[in-house]
Amino acid sequence: MRAVIHTRYGTPDVLELADVAKPVPADDEVLVKVHATTVNRTDCGFRAGKPYVVRAFSGLRRPKQPILGTELAGEVEAVGSAVTEFSAGDQVFGVHADRFGAHAEYVCVKQDAPLALKPAGMSYAGAAAVCDGVILALTCLRRGGVHKGRRILIYGASGSIGTAAVQLARYFEAHVTAVCTTKNVDLVRSLGADVVVDYTREDYTTNGEAYDVLFDAVGKSDFEACKGSLAPGGLFITTDLGARWKNPRLVLWTAVFGSHRVLIPIPKYTKKDVLFLKELIEAGHYRAVIDRTYPLEQVVAATTYVESEQKTGNVVLTVIPDTAN
């Protein structure tokens, strides 16, 4: 089968298309014929081996897992002898965060993994582009206690995590202020933001507003610079460690001193959350945001674009063209 592999750490150019052995499902696994997957920042971090802490999981000197790809949508081709939840022919979607392998024509996934039947009426490309951002955003919103009436500001509201956070916070009936660049203002507003701040024209830290939660979805905010915009007891939530591990140190410091807290929630990918997302999509409360779609063989171009930090929402890799979906 065709797969994108990398045998060393480095720039996107270390990625190459190769023929590798087709996987065989274990008793508790399903074999998924991948129709679409994505390139996300987890893929980029593990490919580059940066920050270096990821090498504790991916291999100190060279990658232990040569095939990246965490998000997937496709069709079940075969099932193991102990599988009861899925059957051959099922259209599925999910996230393979702990094992990767989706940048290929086939991948084996455990039946109890974060995998579910694809939302009715949704394309494979759309289904591939939702799970990772949603689960990361959902983890952060839960830690922030986001609910009706809660005031949340989402910085980086047009990325994969940000577009998910805006839609989820809206679903939870919070008051949502979203920060993005000019070209994405209309998109973010259409996702349900109550207020949209164009950061090229306005500094939200000087507008006099106070928020219960400041959620930095792209790791570019500084707690010290924006804590004046937090209400008493407010939370600064980030998905990034910060320069020289600044944010983890702030997590410890603010747990003891001051009225504000810094949090770096660790996501747990579960089938329950994928099923929750499926319900949201089918009820019309959530939609995939896709910036660009590339064929699998253009993975280097796709990855380069993701690392340009200019993408809006998600970047999809199609393994089987959309016309076959």
pLDDT in tens, 230-264: 999 999 999 988 877 889 999 999 999 989 999 99
pLDDT band at 324 (very low <50, low <70, confident <90, very high): very low
Q: State how far the Cα of 314 lies from the Cα of 132, in Å rounded to an integer.
A: 10
Q: State how far the Cα of 239 lies from the Cα of 249, in Å rounded to an integer.
A: 14
Q: Which domain holds residue 72?
A: 2-130+288-324
Residue 4 in contact with residue 66, Cβ under 8 Å? Answer: no
Q: Is residue 276 part of a domain?
A: no
Residue 67 in contact with residue 3, Cβ under 8 Å? Answer: yes
222 with 160, same domain: the answer is: yes
Q: Is the dihedral of CA 252, 256, 258, 261 positive or negative?
A: positive
Strands 151-155 and 211-216, by their bridges, are parallel
213 with 201, same domain: the answer is: yes
- pLDDT of amino acid 94: 98
Q: Is the pLDDT of residue 98 over 90?
A: no
49 with 161, same domain: the answer is: no
- pLDDT of amino acid 29: 98
120 with 180, same domain: the answer is: no
Q: Which amino acid is located at 274 in the chain?
A: V
- Classify residue 313 by its DSSP letter: B
pLDDT band at 323 (very low <50, low <70, confident <90, very high): low
Q: Is residue 275 part of a domain?
A: no
Q: Is residue 274 part of a domain?
A: no
Tell me the CATH number at 105.
Answer: 3.90.180.10
Query: Number of structural domains, the chain?
Result: 2
109 with 144, same domain: the answer is: no
Q: State how far the Cα of 167 lies from the Cα of 52, in Å rounded to an integer.
A: 33
Residue 236 in contact with residue 260, Cβ under 8 Å? Answer: yes
Q: Is residue 313 part of a domain?
A: yes
Q: Is residue 272 part of a domain?
A: no
Q: What is the mean pLDDT of residues 69-78?
A: 98
Residue 112 in contact with residue 271, Cβ under 8 Å? Answer: yes
Alpha helices in the chain (DSSP H): 41-48, 55-58, 124-128, 131-143, 160-171, 185-190, 223-226, 246-254, 271-282, 299-307
151 with 112, same domain: the answer is: no
Q: Is the pLDDT of residue 325 over 60?
A: no
Q: Is residue 273 part of a domain?
A: no
The first and second tokens of residue 96, run together, are 């393979």
Q: State how far the Cα of 164 lies from the Cα of 217, in Å rounded to an integer.
A: 10
Q: Is residue 226 part of a domain?
A: yes
Tell me the CATH number at 222.
Answer: 3.40.50.720
| CA angle 27–33–314, rounded 5-degree value | 120
95 with 110, same domain: the answer is: yes
First to last CA, the chain: 19
Residue 193 in contact with residue 166, Cβ under 8 Å? Answer: yes
Q: State how far the Cα of 31 lies from the Cα of 21, in Å rounded to an integer.
A: 13
304 with 192, same domain: the answer is: no
99 with 9, same domain: the answer is: yes
Residue 97 in contact with residue 269, Cβ under 8 Å? Answer: yes
The first and second tokens of residue 250, run together, are 């702030």
Nearest to residue 126, comparing CAs of 278, 303, 231?
Answer: 278
Which residue, 222, 247, 263, sits at the end of a domain?
A: 263
Share of the chain above pLDDT 70, in %: 99
46 with 25, same domain: the answer is: yes
pLDDT in tens, 21-53: 999 999 999 999 999 999 999 999 999 998 888
259 with 139, same domain: the answer is: yes
167 with 259, same domain: the answer is: yes
Single pTM value for the model: 0.94
Nearest to residue 214, comparing CAs of 223, 325, 206?
Answer: 223
Q: Is residue 99 part of a domain?
A: yes
Nearest to residue 107, comparing CAs of 145, 98, 58?
Answer: 98
Q: Is 119 left (phi over 0), alpha (psi -120 to 50) or beta?
A: beta
Helix or strand (DSSP H, E) at 96:
none
Q: Is the pLDDT of residue 110 over 60?
A: yes
